[in-house]
Structure 1
Amino acid sequence: IVGAGPSGFSASLAAMAEKMSFVTLEQETFGGTVAHYPRGKVVMTQPVNLPLYGKANFRETTKEKLLEFWHKVREETGLEVQYGERVVKVEPANDHFLVQTEKNNFATRNLLLTIGRRGTPRKLNVPGEDQEKVVYRLIDPEQYAGQHVLVVGGGDSALEAAVSISEVEGTTVALSYRSAAFGRAKQKNREKVEMAEKTGGLRVLLSSNVMSISENDITLDQEGQTITIENDAVIVCAGGILPTGFLKDMGIEIETKFGTA
């Protein structure tokens, strides 16, 4: 089982319940995408029956409480996860698969990929992006207290990051998006951005693109006009690149419709 996010966790418990011989591999941390949500993020879910545990009655909770519950279930059931095992290659071999990670090699008759849709973070590919102040996910808004922050992106993660950082005392936050409107984001998040902009806590730069990132500032193009703003940190929330090549190499056919794999 590749991945220890919500799907991999549930699949691993089911495998334990059926007394199957299996290994769960995770390249980062337990919890998958949820583990990378910003601190205090509200998570919408629904009651489920977890194998070996029973019914979990969650509808709306926080990232921390959900992860705490998952860790509790993992400890009570004795589920073992091998961390730091990034799968780099999978080869079909007669009646089984050869799975190669950065640490080990495995042979398995069945392979379950629960790798989610986050993929590899999509980069801006602009000068200065290799600086340490540029990151691709928000973990804790409080770490940016007193700083000038630019958030790049127009999806829910970008809007949520910008609003949460703007609520931290002493921050100056700008939100850059290449399109003219936040069409992909939830209405609730769009309303929060509008409110933050009205109260002066957030500067919204629609139809803008980052041109370069310097140590103390950042240069953007907004409809042909060059804008330079003071900057201490950049958070790029531009989505991820799906592991299409990785999947094709192992023999999985990818069908693309309307630009989405």
Structure 2
Amino acid sequence: MEILDILIIGAGPIGLNCAIEAQKNNLNYLIIEKGTIVNSLYHYPLYMRFFSTAEKLEIDNVPFISTAPKPGRQDALEYYQGIARQKDLNIHLYEKVLKVSKENGIFQIETTKANYLAKNVVVATGFYDIPNLMNIPGENLPKVKHYYTEPYPYARQKIVVVGSSNSAVDAALETYRKGAEVTMIIRHSEISKSVKYWVKPDIENRIAEGSIKAHFNAEIIEIKENSVVFKDENQHTHEIENDFVLAMTGYLPDFDFLRNSGIELNGDYLNPQYNFETMETNIPDLYLAGVVCGGKDTHLWFIENSRIHANIIINSILSKNS
């Protein structure tokens, strides 16, 4: 069986960037991706706009052309998938990596379709696949959605939006403007400071005028077929009519996969152990790239500031081969 120089898990922007750097240096590589190219971006809300400007999302100095000041989801899909075509990157799609193990200095990678051998493995899996659950009764009801795509299904419905981050604020504003009756349940005392600066005044004004109801320092304790039960800041219990719950409570990396690969996770945030100078984990020749490096702190790394990981990783691999 062929032994790859590098097997890259994940075809997001950072995984693609790793592949491009490997290709430039004549390394034999393969990307394994469980969905489509930049699969997480594909599953973003349809009308989502990035916080970053286009040039800060570029990889390999390929210009990211966008007519809008802040590019949106479709712009990013066109850009990153276009690069994969232009560079003719070696990618296997709709194939999930199940297990990574190492024996006699070589990694054995088991997927849903095949087995591979590689000298080095790069985990660039992001964090968008596993919702951060509330772990309350009724969370498994069909009306509870952990992913939001567009507002139209929620027109003239009673909606509860859980959270106060960008995804929650976007969902609340968009559904409200399509005729939904929106109530936000927020564990903190205010809208998150990380909300996009051009959106934050909009949500705060809609709350102030009463167009969108908001309960701060509150927490849902049960979801029922036709209602939601929550506690307010005074620990008083309330039950309100409800048709849908949009639980925008964030997402997590696949910690079980990281543990099973031998990567040590540290502290309350389950931060993966790696060398900041090389991106190499506690397992020699096993590297991390992109958002997955932050553990539960999924706001720590994003496309803009983790593009450098590809160069760092490839330079580390090349230095071992020299």
TM-score range, shorter chain: 0.7 to 0.9
Aligned equivalent of 1:79: 89
Question: Does the CA-based 8 Å contact 2:64-2:79 persist in structure 1?
Answer: no
Aligned equivalent of 1:54: 62
Is residue 221 from structure 1 mapped to residue 231 from structure 2 by the alignment?
Answer: yes
CA displacement at 1:250 relative to structure 2: 2.1
How far apart in 2 are the matches of 1:199 and 1:157?
21
Aligned equivalent of 1:115: 125
Segment drifting more, 8-17 vs 85-94:
8-17
- Within a 5 Å distance, the mapping from 1:198-237 to structure 2 comes to 198-222=208-232, 223-237=234-248
Aligned equivalent of 1:147: 157
Q: Secondary structure at the match of 2:120?
A: coil
Aligned equivalent of 2:257: 246
Is residue 21 from structure 1 mapped to residue 28 from structure 2 by the alignment?
Answer: yes
Match of 2:112 among 93, 98, 102: 102
Alignment-mate amino acid for residue 9 of structure 1: L
CA displacement at 1:3 relative to structure 2: 0.8
How far apart in 2 are the matches of 1:80 and 1:166?
43
Match of 1:34 among 31, 41, 60: 41
How far apart in 2 are the matches of 1:30 and 1:199?
42
How far apart in 2 are the matches of 1:57 and 1:65?
8
CA displacement at 1:204 relative to structure 2: 0.7
How far apart in 1 are the matches of 2:153 and 2:29?
39
Question: Does the CA-based 8 Å contact 2:49-2:70 persist in structure 1?
Answer: yes
Structure 2: runs of 5 or more not aligned: 1-7, 272-322
Segment drifting more, 93-102 vs 181-190:
181-190
Aligned equivalent of 1:11: 18
How far apart in 1 are the matches of 2:85 and 2:181?
42
Alignment size in residue pairs: 258
CA displacement at 1:195 relative to structure 2: 1.6
Question: Does the CA-based 8 Å contact 1:153-1:175 persist in structure 2?
Answer: yes
Question: Does the CA-based 8 Å contact 2:131-2:249 persist in structure 1?
Answer: yes
CA displacement at 1:151 relative to structure 2: 1.1
Is residue 165 from structure 1 mapped to residue 172 from structure 2 by the alignment?
Answer: no
Question: Does the CA-based 8 Å contact 1:38-1:141 persist in structure 2?
Answer: no
TM normalised by structure 1 equals: 0.86
Alignment-mate amino acid for residue 121 of structure 2: L
How far apart in 2 are the matches of 1:224 and 1:76?
57
Partner deviation per Cα, 1:198-254 (whole Å, 9 max, x = no partner):
344311111211122122221112132222222221111112233334323323233
Match of 2:191 among 179, 182, 198: 182
CA RMSD of aligned residues (A): 2.5
Q: Describe the shift of the 1:200–1:80 C-alpha distance in structure 2 as closer, same or farther (beyond 3 A).
A: farther
